[in-house]
Chain A
Amino acid sequence: MRRVATILLVAIALILFLANGLAPYPYSRQFRDSPNAPASSHFLLGTDALGRDRFSRMLYGGRTSLVFAPAAALVAGVLALLMGLAAGCLGRTAERLVTAMADMCLSLPWLFALLAVRALLPLNASVSATILVTFILLGLLGWAGPCRILLAAVKRHRSSDFVLFARASGCPGWRVAAVHVVPNLLPLAMAQFLVTVPLFLLAEANLGLLGLGIPEPVPSLGGMLRELENLPGAIARPWMFVPALLLFTVVTCFHLLVSADKYHV
């Protein structure tokens, strides 16, 4: 299953990254005489309410989501790893401090934090800056969960024989962490990364549903899912579900990779 998921993800990524060549129209072009057009040879997935080609928007939107969600997951993963290491290796005070910070972060209503930061952004911030800030913030808010898991692993490794042996041999603390602990944490960190990617994809979709996702006219999978709010209308036009299907496939592939990865961990 891991191989199938990998192949699917690579294929999807390839298609999405070739959006410039594959998309029949610019994602923002409005065909105002054809709003809500059905799927046809002109518009493979029909058009949205403003007459924009849904297929082109899905390619560009998928690319945006697939670039930024892993990036946010990477930010969250690296932060979780550093904090987990610091808490596990720098003594009890550091551990208490990091645990308290993680608890606070987990109890924070992240949606309101995002709203607040979005409200503070400069008005003429470029679209790419807005996207970047949104995902960085998602990444910064997403470190706490993985950090707790990684901290537990650090503590386990810290009391293991090979770490005791290294310390008894006079190995300094930073070297123990860098050479003996981190390599053993990497598979777990990788699994956490794979778990958080779909979480961030879905978080962006949720923000999109609230109208606070990626700003117009840039498409994203989350923004495209807003069309499905009107479910009876969408059922009558089943091609509107294709972006949701793409999101579902990507998320499922990531979950399959995690499941397979558990065996490795």
Chain B
Amino acid sequence: MKTLGLFLLGLLGPGCLHAQWGGELRLCLYSEPRTLNPALAEDNNAETIRYLTGGVLLRVNRVSQQLDPELATSWKIADGGKTIVFRLRQGITFSDGTPFSADDVAYTMQVLLDPNVHAPVGDTFQIGSGVPKAVVRGPNEIAVMFGAPVGGVARLFDQVAIMSRRSPLKERAVLGPFQIADHKPGSYIRLARNPNYWKTDRGKRLPYLDSIRLEIQQNRELELLHFRRGQVHLISSLNPDQFEQLSAEDRTSVKDAGPTLEAELLWFNLNRSAPIESYRKAWFQSRNFRLAVSHAIHRDDLSRVVYHGHAQPGVGPFSQANLFWFNQSLKPHAFDLDAARRLLAADGFHLDGRSLADRDGHPVEFSLLTNAGNTARERIAAMLQEDLATLGIRLNIVTLDFPSLIERITKSFRYEACLLGSTNVDLDPNGQMNVWLSSSANHQWNPNQPKPETLWEAEIDRLMRLQASTLDANRRKTLFNRVQQVVWDEAPFLYLVNKNALVAVSHSLRNVEPSALRPYVLWNVDRLWIDQSK
């Protein structure tokens, strides 16, 4: 705690009092954003650009996790939860000087919901029956109407960057703190301050920074080298090895911001039509088998060895990072070999020499698919291999290039178990509807079910739909707690670890308050400033 206090004192304390205008923030993006159009942003890099340039009606505060008013000064839920009405801030203009009005919000919603645009954010609004409509009720008031009541609807607008209907620059006219000034594909993107940004400090328009230069750099070691040389100001996502190295060199330049919403998880292929042996399918369909495997996994070791302690054993769909929705009553499945053996014995599994065999004598052996080149994941797989060997289970690790892996888990279903990561951007469980509904293509263990194949999947479907149309937050939480409990009991996903957000920040960068949620250090970018004296 003392170190944390010193870190915050060093980075926050002086910054708030004597902020300086000017300077260029430099950092790396790990690949070229697939698009710079905020309506089409889907990958992390495009979302980062959208966050830095886009103005939104409401913003989820990455520290308090509460909604902060931005372009909307207030909002209210009406019509029994079917409508949300926004009162907009007045006297605001886009970066090119075009005035902002409710008409621009309506235009943005129209673009996002246009089926020909295929806007990923638009999909999150497709809740209940019918297409949502945006109705302008005056220059500063707009209502968005849904076909059915939608719980937690306000949070959806965190990712809606407002675009101008009238500006000749179209989506390049922005309301966020920065605008795109220069883009050399594959090399860099330079963002310049938006001269018309609406937030101010001491009567002067924010942001403090003049510009941000985002170098496209895939090589994480080169990024680290640039940071050491002072050529970039921050690294938003260090791997644990790099964190330990930098920590040994200068403890005050790094920070562990706590568990993220990102989880490493394992699942078995429960698709009944998958082209794998029927006796293997029977193992995977068995709740006891899945739980036994989970109990044989030493999650504390995974956190300690693979992540050098910068990860927490995984529990369920949300980690402790989600302050409201995490089910506090659940704990990670305990490492308990006796419990695992009891569960296996109950299903007729027995030891045949040193290897486990099923009721019919088939040796228990299955393959675990993961993507090649992800060092942490490959290490986790190797540790799982040794953990399961103690039960007599032989695990074959198969590393494949990503396209081949995706083809197997989404199209051909020629796999037995898979180890991958999940990333949650949305704090609200509605953001996970596409994972939990049995009819969804992203219901990884058994997607696209015409109707739920198991009772517990039917229960999850019912609970998820019910919470999505419930307005009372506490009632929704009770419903989603039950979803988390069912997932914990049935173990369709074995949650292994939630990794921590590890960041490195230059001493010259001030007002830094790293969050465990994306975009980590950049969440308060309009208030970051560079101490020119450093």
Contacts and interface: CB of A to CB of B under 8 A. Distances in A.
Interface of A: 28, 30, 32, 35, 49-51, 115, 118-119, 121, 123-127, 210-212, 215-217, 226, 229-233
B440 interface: no
A153 to B, nearest CB: 39
A128 B385 CA distance: 17
A212 B372 contact: yes
A49 B379 contact: yes
Given A115-B404, A233-B245, 19 more contacts: A32-B298, A32-B304, A118-B400, A119-B400, A123-B369, A125-B396, A126-B396, A210-B372, A210-B373, A211-B378, A211-B399, A212-B399, A215-B397, A215-B398, A226-B375, A229-B221, A229-B375, A232-B224, A232-B245
Contacts of B301: 32
11 contacts: A30-B382, A32-B383, A49-B241, A49-B306, A50-B305, A50-B382, A123-B367, A124-B366, A125-B396, A126-B396, A229-B221
Given A50-B379, A51-B305, A216-B378, A211 B386 contact: no
A32 B380 CA distance: 12
Main DSSP-derived SS at the A contact region: loop
B381 interface: yes
Most buried by A among B298, B375, B385, B398: B398
B415 interface: yes
Interface of B: 221, 224, 241-242, 245, 298, 301, 304-306, 365-367, 369, 372-375, 378-379, 381-383, 385-386, 396-401, 404, 414-416
A233 B372 CA distance: 22
Contacts of A125: 396
Nearest to A127: B396
A216 B381 contact: yes
A124 B396 contact: yes
Contact of A233 (B241, B305, B382): B241
Contacts of A211: 372-375, 378, 399
A126 to B, nearest CB: 8
A230 B241 CA distance: 8
Nearest to A209: B373
A226 B398 CA distance: 17
A51 B308 CA distance: 12
A109 to B, nearest CB: 13
A115 B375 contact: no
B522 to A, nearest CB: 26
Contact of A123 (B373, B375, B396): B396
Nearest to B381: A216
Contact of A35 (B305, B375, B378, B416): B305
Given A123-B369, A211-B372, A231-B221, A30 B383 contact: yes
Given A123-B414, A210-B373, A230-B221, A216 B382 contact: yes
Given A50-B379, A123-B367, A226-B375, A30 B386 contact: yes
A36 to B, nearest CB: 9
Contacts of B404: 115, 119
A174 to B, nearest CB: 44
Contacts of A121: 398
A231 B365 CA distance: 37
A42 B143 CA distance: 70
B1 to A, nearest CB: 27
Contacts of B375: 211, 226, 229
Closest 9 CB pairs of A and B: A211-B372, A123-B367, A119-B404, A211-B373, A216-B382, A216-B397, A212-B372, A35-B305, A115-B401
